Amino acid sequence: MNELEFIDRLKAITTHPAARGLADDVAMMPFGRHKLVMTHDMMVEGMHFLRDADPADVAWKLVAVNLSDLAAKGAKPLGLLLGYGRTAGDAWDAAFVEGLKQAIDRFSVPLLGGDTVAMGDNAPRTFGLTAIGEAKGHIVPSRSNARPGHAVYVTGTIGDAWAGLQIASGALQADDIDISATLLKAHTRPTPRLEEGRILSNLVSSMMDVSDGLLLDASRIAAASDVKIEIDLAELPLSKPFQTLVGTDRDARMKAATGGDDYQLLLTASPETVLSVPLTCVGICRPGSGIALHSHGERLELPDAMGFVHA
Amino acid sequence: MNELEFIDRLKAITTHPAARGLADDVAMMPFGRHKLVMTHDMMVEGMHFLRDADPADVAWKLVAVNLSDLAAKGAKPLGLLLGYGRTAGDAWDAAFVEGLKQAIDRFSVPLLGGDTVAMGDNAPRTFGLTAIGEAKGHIVPSRSNARPGHAVYVTGTIGDAWAGLQIASGALQADDIDISATLLKAHTRPTPRLEEGRILSNLVSSMMDVSDGLLLDASRIAAASDVKIEIDLAELPLSKPFQTLVGTDRDARMKAATGGDDYQLLLTASPETVLSVPLTCVGICRPGSGIALHSHGERLELPDAMGFVHA
């Protein structure tokens, strides 16, 4: 039983409409006149972060990835609950709290409570974070309302976090210290697109965050919406630092399209809709299914891995 | 840095009033016309459950302990988010899902979402559950409003889960199969006092659930409310199965008072208040601090351990 089979079993007992069939990044439940948006993500040492990662970065990322799920639904964060599985390491814990404080201050979201447990010796540090938000718009976008003809957009630039990971792991080296720092920061300190998400949520036909890779995440919108999504690699927004370090050719763009950890918003909307935040159109929805990849009009083969598939 | 020192660091960055200073079992936040009540508890294999525990019981308990926190605040459960850290074991996972289904059906609370992660080989299974509830009463009781003269009550009976743990571990043996089954079930399948909690929440001066031991939990109300709590051991409500297996003498009562895992409600109220659910008065609040223990009017020494203190 792999993760997907296990999730299928959970889906079978998850019948409440608020759960959205476990096919979205969040649960969404009407509460009074507004809507409650809830998400929970875990991070395990050795699986989601390295043993020698900066604990403050780990705390930041734990907050950012959860808030990114709220951002993709246009929700305003109300608070966080932390599950903290400790192992020995006082300095580690203290640095984690420091990073947590930086993140909750930066994103103006209070820590409300949670639980701390001892994991025992030799166990991996294991953290869970629940983010609870409030959606005041009429629509809390899902992944399932993209239609043929709708344009596909992303916020910001794609691939920076992937490039930062290459620098962190020593696979790539940037001569320019500013370029190195910018890309590393995209990897260690992602910024959830909360403001953009709130503006976009009433305008889009589907929206999610780019966590596992643009192509893989786009394929999820395609599957949920029953459309084919054509992505034009040549249109991918690449940052100057990425272009300098990795390049702008097809290989570089393929890395950006599959690297993941971007925490930008990926969305679809009718091409007539005026979307009042900076976006790049990277593709279009067609009748059909799956992902089709183009570059300057030329049809490309799909890569073996469209993103990061969890074990 | 032990757990309490770590929590002190978290407290320093947890300033939002909804967090209740991390001194309650839940966070409580006004939302529209009602109040949102939130809690998160973790369970780690080898720390909170044994490797050979029935996975369905583990799932049940994970749900029950979180709902018990909501019960103590008079909140109606709205939904659950599950963080599931897997290790190898398909049959284990399948049985867990089955127990989860039994619990969510029994307590009428939907699973709304969450996250599953691979923990890696040899890591302990690690689960977190977030329970979100709604309080419609005027008051969401805390631990801090007990006053001198207020009576101290518990729901149900105390000590059954402790006795069940002794049976499960082989430390005690019940000849009667019904007695054995009843006590084991109190240990493996606790029932959160949701209905009682909702009725009591507007009537009590403080309320919490008995998770770590009656004396230890009472000491927390005493500390938060700045009162002394006198407990009369002779008044402790003991079930027939407990009495038969463990006895009714002072030693037996001390086991019940410190065993924990009862998930009954412990509350204080003005003695004039009519509390319309079955309760047993086990003590009284006095000026002062800490716990005083009596039995039939005789002052007793406090035991070395008043309950289960987490590592």
> B interface mutation test: which of A111, A121, A127, A309 has the most B CBs within 10 A?
A111
CATH of domain B3-135: 3.30.1330.10
Where are the domains positioned within chain B?
3-135, 151-300
> Tell me, what's the pLDDT at A63?
98
Query: What pLDDT, in 10s, does the model give residues B88-127?
Result: 878 999 999 999 999 999 999 999 999 999 998 889 999 9
What average pLDDT does range A209-238 have in this prediction? 97
The A residues from 45 to 74 touching B (CB cutoff 8 Å) are: 46-48
Q: Which of A32, A112, A116 sits opposite B33 (nearest CB)?
A: A32
Within an 8 Å CB–CB cutoff, is residue A108 touching chain B? no
* Residue A88 confidence class, pLDDT cut points 50, 70, 90: confident
| Residue B297: per-residue pLDDT | 84
A90 touches B: beta carbon within 8 Å:
yes
Residue in A closest to B4 by C-alpha? A116
Q: Which amino acid does the sequence have at B207? A: M
- pLDDT value of position A145: 95
Tell me how far apart the alpha carbons of residues B60 and B104 are, in angstroms, rounded to a whole number.
8
Write out pLDDT tens, residues B25-45: 899 998 888 899 999 999 999
User: pLDDT (tens digit, 9 = 90+) per residue, B48-67?
Assistant: 998 889 999 999 999 999 99
**CATH (one of 1.10.287.40, 3.40.50.300, 3.40.50.2300, 3.90.650.10) for B151-300:** 3.90.650.10
Is the confidence at residue B286, as pLDDT, over 70? yes
Flag whether pLDDT at B311 surpasses 70. no
Q: Which one of A20, A112, A122 has the shortest CB-CB distance to B38?
A: A112
Kindly report the average pLDDT of chain A as a whole number.
Answer: 94
Q: How much is the average pLDDT of B81-87?
A: 95
CB neighbour list of residue B68: distance below 8 Å, 6 or more residues apart? B190, B192, B193, B209, B211, B263
- Shortest Cα–Cα distance, A104 to chain B (Å): 9
Residue B120's pLDDT is what? Answer: 86
Q: Inform me whether the C-beta atom of residue B37 falls under 8 Å from chain A C-beta atoms.
A: no
B120 touches chain A (CB under 8 A): yes
Q: How confident is the model at residue B82 (pLDDT cuts 50, 70, 90)?
A: very high
How large a percentage of chain B has pLDDT more than 70? 99
Using DSSP bridges, classify how beta strands B228-232 and B290-295 pair: parallel, antiparallel or unpaired.
parallel
Within 8 A by CB and 6+ apart from A102, the residues are A56, A59, A60
Residue A310 predicted with pLDDT over 60: no
What was the pLDDT predicted at A311? 43
The dihedral over CA atoms of A85, B13, B141, B309, expressed in degrees to the nearest 10, equals 40
Mean pLDDT, rounded, for B144-153: 97
CA dist., res. B66 & res. A83, Å (int): 13
A223 touches chain B (CB under 8 A): no
pTM for the complete prediction?
Answer: 0.94
Q: Which residues of B touch A97 (CB under 8 A)?
A: 6, 9-10, 12-13
